[in-house]
Each structure stands twice: as structure tokens, then as C-alpha cells.
Amino acid sequence: MRYSPIGKELFTNNRKRFVGILQKEAIAVFNSNDSMPSNADGTLGYKQNSDLFYLTGIEQEESLLVICPSFPDKKYREVLLLREPNELLEKWEGHKLTKQEAKDISGIETVVWLSEFHKLFHHMMVMGGVECVYLNTNEHYRSDVIVESRDARFIDWCKAKYPLHKYERAAPLVSVLRRSKEKREIELLQKACDITELGFRRVLKFTKAGVAEYEIEAEYIHEFIRNGSKGFAYTPIIASGANSIILHYIQNNQVCKDGDLLLLDVAAEYANYNADLTRTIPVNGRFTKRQKEVYNSVLKIHREAAKILRPSVVYFDYHKEVEKLMQSELLKLKLIDKTDIKNQKPDNPAFKKYFYHGTGHMLGLDVHDVGNMYEKVQLGSVWTIEPGIYIKAEGFGIRLENNFVVEKSKNVDLMKDIPIEAEEIEELMNVK
């Protein structure tokens, strides 16, 4: 692996907390993600199921975790099942985990080969006093995306094989646990942010009129990988000029022009934990008066929002407060006036012409991490704060985004060392 060992203690503790909220006489099963095909005999890059990783630290495909806390034989209360290595597999795909290596990573003492699953699982289901089966699903996916996952196939098989057991959802339980981050998780997130900072500082030196957006993308990925990241935490948005008003612009194929702004929504992952940074910089190294005026309004909202997002606040109430700040700044910028506000409709307020997305989201093993946005913000949760103003008529958008840990006394900014003041960005871009 590229990153330093995380330590089995994190995963052992995660499983212990999960067991603590299970019903009695329960069994829980977590499957790895599928290896997804591309075309012909190709496959896409592999990404482990976040819940399985959270509970085991295992990144290998075709892995499976079974937890049965009340099973009579203590040896089988936690079982990790792995794909069995063989000479041919290692010739084609390289090293696969040994049982001892998997134990060292996960802290799970009982590791068996996947070929033993059906016999072992049947024994646990019928002889272990199991009444309730917790099965895992991705409940955070977009409703318009339909994929038959490894978990989904297992659910169908398990219910057909054992129709009289009681079935429960594992995802809500793991979601509750994942929301509040452990100290070790914060360290990994900080490392992802630190690598992101290195990439951003490199890009500040590189950017100038005439370079292509994809060349800037190349500078980022070079810096990320050379510092132990597997790469981008998400598809990078490198949006110059009018592209910066498109929220999910990912073509990154235009040439940066003198006088334009460049919106950079780009961050690194580290050990499967993700950073999420946005900065907006002037291509030529100097903001115009108008650009800086709008930039400073966004920065002001960003800083005020960081004071409002606190424990006991519900996200949507917080977002409404940020919208009030946005309305005030848009008035100052003369983008809207009091007449616009007076005539606005409740479901289409005037500010939405210039600010049309949420103020942030939870962050962790997934970039848009699991959690209930209708519940109060939890201590130890990590959030992005990312206000933006997008002015189609003037051909530019500005968004600023940092990652914050919600703690008792105040929020901790994991990106506090990444340049954000307009003057500092200009200074760094003009160093000879």
C-alpha cells in the first residue's frame, strides 16, 4: 500500500461500537464492492465498499465480513473471508493478502477463505441462535442510478435461502457510527488535506494565461501521487472563465485566458479518506477590482458560516442562515436589489440566481459522506463549507471550500494553512 499502516485498533474499535448497537441474537454481513468491467476484458479501478473498509481496513476485492456477537463458539463471532491466493492469480494480479496479513490489518483473528463461506454461514444461521440478519445496502446513492451490487445479490440469495429469519438494515447503524470521526480518522483526513495543499501551491506557481485546464490537472495528480495518495478524491473540476459557473464542469479541456478566473475544485484522497477543497484564482495572477470584490464577499460568507455550523444545529437551519448572509452580500454587490427581494417567491428567492447549491456536506470515507442532514450536527463530524457566487452575465463564478471538524469550543479547520486570502494568492502567484 502507498500509505503508512492505519493500525488495527481503529477497525477493532469500529466493530466493537457496531456490535454495541445490534439487536440480540443477530448476525451482520458486509460484502466488498464488485470489480466493475469497462469494455472487452478491461476493468475499472477498484474502490472498496466504504462500510466494509470502515469495519476491517481491508481493501481487497471479493472480501466479506460476518459478525455474530452471540455465537456460542467465540472463534466465529467475527469472521473475515478472503479470496484464496494461488500462483496463477498472483502472476496476473500480484500479491493477495495472506490470513496473517489480514489479521494484522483488521484485528480479526478468524480469517478463512471465501470458498468456505456457504458451509460456515449455514452453520451460523441454523446453529447459532440467530434470529435477526443485518444486511448492508448503499442508501446514499442517487435514486436515478440503478446498479446490482454484490450486497444486492447477497440480499436476494440470503432471503431466498433463509426466508423465515427477521431482516434488518445495517446501513443506518454504520451511518450513525461513521458520522462522528475517531482521532485516527481525523489524522488521515488531515493528511489528505496536507497533500491537497501541496498540489494547490504547485498549481499557483504553474498557472498562467495560455495553459490548458488539463495541464493544471496533470500538475495536481503529479503532486498527489508523489506524496502517497492514490489520486483525486473525486473527478477534478478545473474551470476557467465561463466554465466556472458550471457546478460540475469536468471536461477540463479549455485554455486559460488572461483576465479570467479559474475555479479549482480539486482534492486528494489518503488511505481512502477524502479531502475536498475549492479555490478560485486569477489566471494572470491578479484579481480585477470587481473580481476581488465578489471574492471577498464569498470569503466573508465562508468565515461567518464556519461560526454558525455548530453542534445542536440542524444542517437545513444552518443553510437558511447562510442564505441570509448571501442575500446581504448580493445586495452590496448590486446583483440584486430590495425590489427583487420584495417580489421574490418563497420557492424561488432572488439569491438563487447567483447561489444555487448547498453550503456543504459531510466528509470522510466518501466525499459526500453518509449521515442524516435532518439531524443535529454531531461533535466529531467533518463538514465542508463551500459558499459560492456565480454571475453568468459577468462570465465568472467564485467558490471557496474548506473542511472543518466540529468540536466543543470551536470548529477546527483542516485546511487553515491553505492560502485563501486574495492578496496571499496574488503574492504566491507572482513570486519570481
**Residue 235 has what pLDDT?**
98
Work out the pLDDT band at 134, boundaries 50, 70, 90: very high
DSSP string, 73-128: SGGGSEEEEEPPP-HHHHHHH-----HHHHHHHH--SEEEEGGGHHHHHHHHHHHS
Cα–Cα distance, 225 to 424 (Å, whole number): 26
Sign of the CA dihedral with 269 first, then 188, 368, and 310 last: negative
Q: Say if CB 381 and CB 406 are below 8 A apart.
A: yes
pLDDT one-digit tens code per residue, 264-299: 999 999 999 999 999 999 999 999 999 999 999 999
* Nine cell digits for residue 295: 471574492
Work out the pLDDT band at 416, boundaries 50, 70, 90: very high
Work out the pLDDT band at 148, boundaries 50, 70, 90: confident
User: Which secondary-structure segment (H or E) carries 278?
Assistant: strand 278-282
Q: Average pLDDT of the chain? A: 96
Cα–Cα distance, 98 to 412 (Å, whole number): 39
DSSP state of 234: S
**Residue 145 has what pLDDT?**
67
Mean pLDDT, residues 205-229: 98
Q: Assess whether pLDDT exceeds 80 at residue 245.
A: yes
Q: Assess whether pLDDT exceeds 90 at residue 141.
A: no
Q: Assess whether pLDDT exceeds 90 at residue 58.
A: yes
Q: What's the start-to-end Cα distance of the chain, in Å?
A: 38
* Nine cell digits for residue 390: 456565480
- What domains, with CATH codes, occur in the chain? 8-179 (3.40.350.10), 183-429 (3.90.230.10)
- Percent of the chain scoring above 90 in pLDDT: 93
* Nine cell digits for residue 417: 494553512
pLDDT one-digit tens code per residue, 174-190: 999 999 999 999 999 99
Closest CA to 183 of 24, 400, 10, 53: 10
Q: What are phi and psi of 418, to 5 degrees?
A: -90, 125
Q: Assess whether pLDDT exceeds 80 at residue 363.
A: yes
Q: Assess whether pLDDT exceeds 90 at residue 126.
A: yes
Q: Assess whether pLDDT exceeds 70 at residue 42.
A: yes
Q: Assess whether pLDDT exceeds 70 at residue 143.
A: no
pLDDT one-digit tens code per residue, 83-105: 999 999 899 999 999 999 999 99
